[in-house]
């Protein structure tokens, strides 16, 4: 059928209008995308065209209280291969493998598997920057490097369980490094590489200058004193080896501020080469519990004095053994019935005496005071992995209260027992331990300062009485801590020899400790030594006490604490 001219023109006009409308719609859409969604689409395109290389991020510095560097980043290079840039006319896979293996000291089989990958592959990360000259000289197409930050620890094993370490990507894995990871690391410090049209990674030679070295980071200042930490670790190591103990711990605290001047555990390790052994890495001073044994008698007698259930000069008849609710409580040795004051109970470490006096306290009151001391809950130390220990819930029968009085049936961490003693040494005011003094920014200005919380735990009268009792434990000839005596100074403290629970029963091993403060007239320092399973001697007076004394002597010198009894020094010189 033949179309007339009018019909043809109408169709042409319709097509023209339709195309014009379609073109206009496309134009409007393009204008909208370019004008209103430009940034959004640009970011999407960037995500499709770029991806992040997992470079180690720059971390802040960790120092001791005096600014001595304990952890810092150094520059390193990480070597990669990118098969797309290989030039087989110059280098075959075998030649690349041979030359590179020799240059980087890598096994050829390992390297060949790496460079045979068709995409981007890390060959070796965080190598000394000196290898850069070697790689530049080789100039192998497809083999390049980028600069990365590498965490180093100049003091090696100093405070290892406390500081912790980082992984290959410079992310914290243990200790303060993981607890304060978000403070130490710059979250915005991330380098990127381009992808080609096929979605494959491309790293150009210009990317060899990628570095994280200029990132802005914070600095953490610890409460530790490097010198006191070193002394603590040295004497602890010697003691653990001498007494053939499983492990050991030393803590030294400034009683005015709560600052931990040292917190040492042994065995230890080099932070630059951490072992694959959690038992060594773990800071067991805050993450493991034990029964405190006779050290608990300090807090039992303090509780009885605070509740006025015993007088400071009261004489208590203490048989060598008593029956409590069908359970036999015994002292070490067959002494018959001894007439003991509270001082004597602590001095000779009488289990029966502690049981008799403590059971005068209503169980609820007894538990409340122990809770005020901090037992059964974590401290405010900011130490990684800290647990709260075990303070049994009420009700307590006579057996429960009795065993707790001499340190069985209750479990504590070393940091808890240290913190509890501050209440006695500081006139009844417990102070929380502090390990982080302050955090400062790149400009050196303090961003956050940490202060230790203080809590009234005992009356000053009770605390002073207990302090005098503990001075006698060291000063009296019969005291179990006599061997800690240092001429010119008075020490107040208590030994602890606690049967160790192993496989659910009390075994042959013990936890041996000495917890004390000095100078005792006006205490400045609180110090704790704990040995796990010493084998050459059972009692703390023969193991923990000698270690304690050596550390105390050096600590007094380092802090320049003057003698409180200079007449002792004169008397000693006259004897010589």
Going by pLDDT thresholds of 50, 70 and 90, the confidence category of residue 37 is low
Going by pLDDT thresholds of 50, 70 and 90, the confidence category of residue 92 is confident
Largest CA distance in the chain: 141
3-state secondary structure of 266: strand
pLDDT value at 197 more than 50:
no
Among candidate residues 471, 375, 460, the one with its CA nearest the CA of residue 426: 460
Among candidate residues 512, 576, 509, the one with its CA nearest the CA of residue 539: 512
3-state secondary structure of 64: coil
- Give the contacts of 129 (CB within 8 A, at least 6 positions apart): 75, 76, 77, 147
Three-state SS string over 9-59 comes to HHHHHHHHHHHHHHHHHHHHHHHHHHHHCHHHHHHHHHHHHEEECCCCCCE
Q: What would the pLDDT profile of 230-281 be if each residue is shown by its tens digit?
A: 999 999 999 999 999 999 999 999 999 999 999 999 999 999 999 988 888 9
Do 201 and 192 touch, CB atoms closer than 8 A? no
DSSP state of 274: -
- What ranges make up the beta strands (E) of 234-389? 247-254, 260-266, 316-318, 321-324, 327-330, 338-340
| Whole-number pLDDT of residue 145 | 85
Going by pLDDT thresholds of 50, 70 and 90, the confidence category of residue 298 is very high
Structure tokens given for 35: 């004008």
Among candidate residues 427, 291, 305, the one with its CA nearest the CA of residue 366: 305
3-state secondary structure of 376: coil
Going by pLDDT thresholds of 50, 70 and 90, the confidence category of residue 200 is very low
Backbone angles phi, psi at 80, to 5 degrees: -130, 165
How big is the chain by its Cα radius of gyration, in Å?
34
Do 76 and 127 touch, CB atoms closer than 8 A? yes
Average of pLDDT values for 465-485? 80
| Share of residues in the chain with pLDDT > 90 (%) | 59
Instruction: To the nearest 10°, report the CA torsion of 443, 444, 450, 451.
Output: -130
Distance CA 570, CA 341 (A): 33
Among candidate residues 403, 331, 334, 333, the one with its CA nearest the CA of residue 363: 403
Distance CA 232, CA 251 (A): 8
Q: What would the pLDDT profile of 314-356 be if each residue is shown by its tens digit?
A: 999 999 999 999 999 999 877 889 999 999 999 888 999 999 9
**Angle at which helices 398-405 and 351-358 cross, to 10°:** 130
Range among 140-149, 547-556, 559-568 with highest mean pLDDT value = 547-556
Higher pLDDT: 200 or 156? It is 156
DSSP state of 431: E
Distance CA 107, CA 548 (A): 50
| Share of residues in the chain with pLDDT > 70 (%) | 85
Question: Whole-number mean pLDDT of the chain?
Answer: 87
| Whole-number pLDDT of residue 319 | 95
The rounded Cα 154 to chain-centroid distance in angstroms is 18
């Amino acid at each position: 059928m033949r179309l007339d001219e009018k019909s043809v023109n109408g169709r042409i006009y319709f097509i023209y209008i339709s195309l014009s409308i379609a073109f206009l719609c496309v134009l409007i859409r393009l204008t909208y995308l370019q004008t209103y969604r430009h940034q959004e689409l640009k970011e999407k395109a960037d995500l499709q065209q770029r991806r992040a290389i997992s470079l180690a991020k720059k971390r802040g510095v960790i120092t001791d209280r005096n600014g001595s560097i304990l952890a810092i980043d150094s520059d390193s290079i990480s070597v990669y291969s990118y098969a797309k840039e290989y030039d087989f006319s110059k280098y075959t896979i075998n030649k690349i493998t041979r030359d590179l293996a020799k240059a980087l000291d890598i096994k050829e089989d390992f390297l060949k598997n790496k460079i045979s990958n068709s995409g981007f592959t890390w060959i070796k990360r965080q190598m000394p920057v000196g290898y850069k000259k070697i790689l530049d000289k080789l100039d192998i197409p497809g083999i390049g490097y980028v600069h990365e930050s590498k965490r180093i620890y100049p003091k090696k094993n100093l405070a290892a369980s406390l500081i912790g370490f980082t992984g290959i990507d410079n992310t914290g894995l243990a200790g303060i490094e993981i607890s304060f990871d978000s403070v130490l690391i710059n979250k915005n410090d991330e380098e990127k590489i381009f992808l080609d049209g096929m979605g494959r990674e491309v790293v150009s030679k210009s990317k060899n200058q990628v570095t994280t070295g200029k990132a802005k980071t914070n600095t953490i200042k610890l409460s530790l004193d490097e010198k006191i930490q070193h002394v603590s670790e040295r004497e602890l190591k010697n003691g653990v080896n001498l007494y053939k103990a499983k492990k050991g711990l030393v803590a030294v605290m400034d009683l005015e501020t709560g600052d931990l001047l040292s917190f040492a555990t042994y065995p230890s390790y080099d932070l630059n080469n951490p072992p694959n052994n959690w038992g060594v890495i773990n800071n067991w001073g805050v993450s493991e519990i034990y029964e405190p044994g006779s050290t608990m008698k300090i807090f039992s007698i303090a509780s009885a004095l605070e509740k006025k259930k015993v007088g400071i000069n009261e004489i208590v008849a203490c048989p060598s053994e008593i029956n409590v609710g069908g359970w036999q409580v015994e002292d070490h040795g067959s002494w018959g019935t001894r007439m003991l004051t509270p001082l004597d109970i602590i001095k000779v470490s009488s289990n029966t005496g502690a049981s008799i006096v403590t059971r005068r306290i209503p169980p609820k009151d007894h538990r409340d005071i122990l809770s005020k001391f901090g037992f059964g809950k974590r401290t405010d130390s900011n130490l990684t992995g800290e647990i709260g220990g075990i303070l049994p819930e009420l009700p307590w029968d006579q057996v429960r209260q009795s065993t707790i009085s001499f340190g069985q049936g209750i479990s504590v961490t070393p940091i808890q027992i240290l913190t509890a003693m501050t209440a006695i040494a500081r006139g009844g005011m417990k102070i929380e331990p502090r390990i982080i003094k302050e955090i400062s920014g790149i400009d050196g200005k303090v961003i956050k300062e940490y202060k230790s919380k203080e809590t009234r735990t005992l009356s000053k009268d009770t605390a002073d009485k207990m302090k005098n009792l503990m001075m006698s434990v060291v000063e009296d000839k019969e005291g179990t801590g006599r061997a800690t005596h240092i001429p010119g100074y008075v020490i107040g403290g208590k030994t602890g020899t606690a049967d160790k629970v192993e496989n659910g029963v009390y075994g042959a091993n013990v936890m041996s400790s000495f917890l004390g403060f000095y100078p005792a007239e006006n205490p400045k320092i609180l110090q704790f030594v704990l040995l796990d399973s010493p084998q050459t001697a059972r009692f703390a007076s023969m193991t923990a006490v000698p270690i304690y004394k050596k550390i105390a002597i050096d600590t007094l010198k380092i802090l320049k604490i003057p003698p409180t009894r200079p007449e002792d020094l004169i008397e000693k010189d006259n004897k010589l």
